[in-house]
Chain A
Amino acid sequence: DIQMTQSPASLSASVGDRVTITCRASQGISNFLAWFQQKPGKAPKSLIYAASNWQSGVPPKFSGSGSGTDFTLTITSLQPEDSATYYCQQYHTYPWTFGQGTKVEIK
């Protein structure tokens, strides 16, 4: 199985900050990489597909980049409502696998 490793596991940042989450695949996955946001007690929400494409309705403050094995999710102008856990997922090879999640907190 392809292992997805996210870093950091958690971060704390201030309102207005820019934060970056990294996701590394154990083997090349081209750009078959998605990002999800999950708030406590809620279903995940899809943010990004194909590494850098916004899902419908997702604001451009969320941006994704990368290809191959290394990917990033950047959140600009951090707001209290961005407090959540963020997951990356590869859909290049079955079984699809998720990163362990990055918890973003607001200071």
Chain B
Amino acid sequence: QVQLVQSGAEVKKPGASMKVSCKTSGYTFINYGINWVRQAPGQGLEWLGWISAYNGDTKYAEKEQGRLTMTTDTSTKTAYLELRSLRRDDTAVYYCAKEGSWYAVDYWGQGTLVTVSS
């Protein structure tokens, strides 16, 4: 069965960087892209970007472009999200989400809480 298992919660200081991993299994990794979505406490869902697991092409939300890097490791079937120069309003649960039929998301990781606090 398809699974996306994310790394554990992190606490970061303002100005630091975070890197969240998303280890996948149960499907052919390079055939589908990975989206990253975040959810601030008590708020809705915000799309951050997409990466092709086939060739590494990326699409980033313009709002965070410059601070975001998405990568994949095909040998371990793992996707990564890096966000730099963290601010307090980056505090959120970060989700990876697999692309499925017609490019829509079909499976989600369990989420990783990143808290930015001094």
Residues on A lying within 8 angstroms of B by beta carbon are 32, 34, 36, 38, 43-46, 49-50, 53, 55-56, 87, 89, 91, 94-101
B residues less than 8 Å from A50 (CB atoms): 101-102, 104
Interface residue tally for chain B (C-beta within 8 Å) = 24
Main secondary structure of the interface of A (DSSP, over half): loop
Output the least CB separation between A63 and chain B (Å).
16
A57 to B47 Cα, complex, angstroms: 24
Nearest 8 interchain pairs by C-beta:
A49-B104, A96-B47, A43-B108, A98-B45, A34-B104, A95-B61, A50-B102, A101-B44
Q: A95-B47, A98-B44 are in contact. Are A43 and B101 (CB under 8 A)?
A: no
Q: Are B61 and A44 in contact (CB under 8 A)?
A: no
A residues less than 8 Å from B105 (CB atoms): 34, 36, 46, 49, 89, 91
User: What per-residue 1/0 map shows which CB atoms of B68-91 lie under 8 Å from chain A?
Assistant: 000000000000000000000000
User: What per-residue 1/0 map shows which CB atoms of B82-112 lie under 8 Å from chain A?
Assistant: 0000000000000101001111111111110
Q: Are B47 and A46 in contact (CB under 8 A)?
A: no
